[in-house]
Structure 1
Amino acid sequence: MTSSISSLKEKRRDQRSESIIMSVCNLLSALLLLASTASASHYIGGLMTFNSKKNPDGSYRVDIRFKEAYHSCNMGDYWTCGFGNCGNKTFVSGRVDSSPKGGSWCQTEGVMKRTVSNNSPFQLQQSSCCWISNGANSGGNWRLLTLIDLGERSDTSKPNRSPVVTTLPVVRVPQNCARNYNLLSFDPDHDQVRCRYGDFSADECGMCNQHAGFTLDQSTCTLSYANSSTDVYLFELVMEDYPTQIISLNYTAMAAAVRSPFNNASSNLPLSKIPLQFALEVEAPAPSCTEGEYLPRFLHPTPHHGEHLQARVNQELEIRIKATATFSSITDVVFSGPLNSTKETTITGEYVINWTPTSENYGQHFPICFIAEGQNGSINYQSEMRCVIVVVKAEGPKSQVTCTKDTMSVSIERATISGVHGDHLRVNNNASCAVSSNSTHVFTTFSLNGCGTQIEETDEHVIFKNTIVTFDNPNHIITRKNVFEIEVMCKYQKKSSITTRFDAHRSAVNFTERGFGSFSYQFEFYQSDHFKNIRDPSSYPLEYNVAETIYMEISPLNVMQNTEVFLVSCVASPYDNPNYPISYPIITNGCEVDETVNIYTSHQPNVKFSMEAFKFIGQYDQVFITCSIIICQANNPNTRCAQGCTNSTQVAPSSHVHKREAAIQTGSHFISQGPLRLRRSASLTEAISPSLNLNLVFVAGCVVAVVAMVCGMMVYKSRGSNIKYQLLKSDEI
């Protein structure tokens, strides 16, 4: 009996302890949630644009896109109808991009589709508390207001459309560096766009400050910074569009209205007005204001500000961005774009913004803005802000791409490429990579390592790309046939363990020449100068340390009697493309250009050579080596092979074959291998946003620690470092 009572007491005591522990866990979790919410709930800017069209039943559909930014990725539709018939709506939203720097912001975009019975004007508005608080800012209320006028324009016979605009929520500038921010101000109706500060009496802003040290050119929507104290400045602007000539707006339920061009001396009403709000942080002075030193500078292939890019329905658009800075390392590119746009980083240091328009986006214009961020020690720097306009065109040729570990197969519906003859198509304009056709389709299959296929690697994928193009006569420099170009790709996902993978190692290259017949040469890397142990093809991409010796050999698969190979040139580039703008010559005209090059053999059927590994300056961390070779008749003093190294630009002896004349040498042929990659050193970077309250961070950290100790332990087992590559599912390509 005593034992039973004791057991019961212990059980109740355990239950009370468990209850206390759970209560503590719940309390601490709530405190943690409160701490994170307190640091992540503040408003950092917003904007709205709209596009409209008339439905067959006489109603109107308005596609409204709005962006908002907070410390956390808050998503929701809290817009209310200010006046007019705002109609019925559907709503979707998602994250666009975020940055741990400059206030730790996250920007989201919501897409509202409203159906209204008539085209009378209506107004949407939203307000709350609070703006981010820093220095002179008191964290006051914010307000957003949009006037939507769907009146049918007399010049276009269509409803009015607003200007298209977007911006990064937080832009930053060193105190000593003057800078202009050209706010994108494109109007699809080709109206005049103007920007001004919001008016408090019209409920267009919450704090309505006009800061000293900044000027706003209303006619060009350019915000210029000259000089001000270090602080965060909030801008609550209004963007308006005015016609370039007098037009009338016709309505179904009210009298027509007249709209005139902007006139400083009058109070002409705009066609629409939309909000544009963001934060600008003036930071500590920089050692230099020259772009490319501390402040990142954009490089090719980054598009220029204001550039118009074309995208096609259901076809992925790529916007490639690259930046550099001598005394800063590029850490990120942040952007503001349409919903469902994504960002990837290539191992060569390029940032790629991807977006695939849908059929609903056809005919519309979409703005995308981006900024490069660099870091020097604990200090972060931003580049200029660039913005582009994406114009969505109709769907292009319909194709199906099938990817295997070795090949890419492409099938294109002939009906979608009318006017293009199947016999006038090639892969990458390569004569040896022809395209076949029948009555319904154009099709081709080629190796992932052939036909000029380009390889690209991001943090998550390995991508093979090629292009199918039209051609006329290869000897002509003009063509009067329809121009056609379609990019095809195979995207492979990196995995730690899979069964299907592609082979990065380049296979042997086959040549055919009159007088020599068909022959195959391979480009291989070796372990040492003994040239006995080939680097395992499955280990590609190969890894080297800087200055480590690379041993290479170009040799025939089957030795041809009485022939020798001559290494005319070799170049290294970050892509498998010897004509890439960034390349480094290793051998030129048979001469060793790089001081570390050592050619071991000459006048032999094969050529062995070596050089020390190097890295391209900048963000590139891979190297492809491409060589041009000539096959000659051995021991013939009249061949290019016999000439050896020559610094002259004289033309090599002709290999043209006359009647009864034997060929003495081939033309030059390219052969490549790679990629080679430098071994990376592990590094740990820690950064805390200066705008966060450090006491709050400490408290939150303590709470996390207590929760971890009291509530349990999570075990993370790291995956192996052996990287293979996996095909994506067909619906992910």
Structure 2
Amino acid sequence: MFWIWTEMRFAVGMGRPTLVYFCSSTKETCTLLYGGGAAAGQYTVEVMVEDFPSSVILSEPTPFSTISLQLSITVENEAGCPAVPEFRGVSPAGGSLVHVLPFQEIHVNITVYSGVQEVTEIAVIGPPGLFVSPVTTTPKSQTSTTLSWVRGSDPSADLLSVCFVANTKSLQSEIRCMWLQQTQMDPLPPGTELKCNERKLQMSLLLPISFLEDLHLSVLQLNDPTCPVFINSTHVTTTFSLTGCGTKTVHLGSELLYTNTLRSVSSNSTITRDASLVLPLACRISSQLAAGPNFRIVVPSEVETFGAVSFWLEFHIPGEGPMATDTRQAQLRSSRSVRTLRELNRSGQLDMLDMHVFSNCSLARAELMVGRCVESETSDFLHTRPLLSQGCASGNSTLEVLTSMSTVRIYRLYLNSLELKGDTMYVECEVHLCVTTKQSQSCADPCTKSSQRSLVDSILTRTYKVRSGPVSIVKQDTQTSTVKPTQTILPPISQTTATLLYCNPCERVLLATAVTLLTVLMLS
């Protein structure tokens, strides 16, 4: 027989440890009991275990052996131990048993209440494939989680355990365990067929009735009792959709399971000796084949959507050309002040030229999008300077003129700001067309920075590069700029003209003198 007693000690200063006896033990269960009262701190518990003879003759027998066990206990609150977390609600009781059919999915809800400390985790241990949902906490100091498990076709054991416990910062609930009983199924009779049609998403059953003795066949039904089950003199047959008739879809590893159950359902609740049938049905489809119905999304080609598109560039003095109405009193997308423009105009230092980007697309709601534009003093574009970046003005040398036509873009070039050295320049732009799939939307404007970005579905052409011919930047009566097409069919070069009507006061005086002299000679 064994005798046990305990001593709880704590050190006071640097002196000898003082013995404090406030922890008792029970001889029957060898349980340590702490009733509170100790100051907060860390204590060392010493348990003495002695072995005595079973029949004691002497009043003070000598133990055969004495063993000392020591452990450390931390007292956090002098008032005593707070209430530990408790399982409540639908939490399964300890030792509960759940019967699981083949391919059946079970769900177990666990709810814990802790009024003192917040539950930090619900630790769970169970069979392979057990899924534990994230822990959720309600304002009423309740913490919940859900366990899910799907039984496979080859049970490793008839009885499986699932154990769980709730932990706080310094407290722990009781440990509960439940059992999963994997129900053993009788072998199916010869001639039973279960077919899975992956293309039609159907399951078909052919079941001989020779082994269904003493069973009322009229009470057989699937998960959905409205789905038909046919019975003849030899077989029970049924065909149902994998997406209907109460069929459930679950994941088992890399497979997708479609499960249903053929069972006999009694119309009354009385206990009878009639035979019953529970037959799980399952189709196992590999994840590569379980993508569901196949959909083919066909995007129309560029020509089918926009037609045979072409692009070209034209350069005009502001207020002239085919878009004169928009450029004469232009509305600019700019933050440049009007005062600065007036000062430049009065001093005669501002030379402006409007670059028109055109497309022949006649599709309604099509939008011309201009990307990167550069200018160069040579036709080979060996050295370039940016005019536009993603359709947005680059610096103060280029501003966009807002127009009412979605297939035309106009950009005002301030030539003095470009610091051009020669008399001509060449321009190259990257362009494409865009149309949205919804009439209520418009193509995204890369120059508009919005904090709330919305997803816009649109169809785009491929990106084209279009180059201009030599564009004269000197002051003269007229000017013609040519366009060299790149990757697309462009209008004839003769159609791309620009008329410059700007001349300074000196040139006007000389022109008037020449006209007067010619008139005098004709009169002579």
TM-score, normalization: structure 1? 0.24
TM-score, normalization: structure 2? 0.31
**Higher normalized contact order (CA 8 Å, seq sep 6+, divided by chain length):** 1
Q: Pick the structure with greater CA Rg.
A: 2
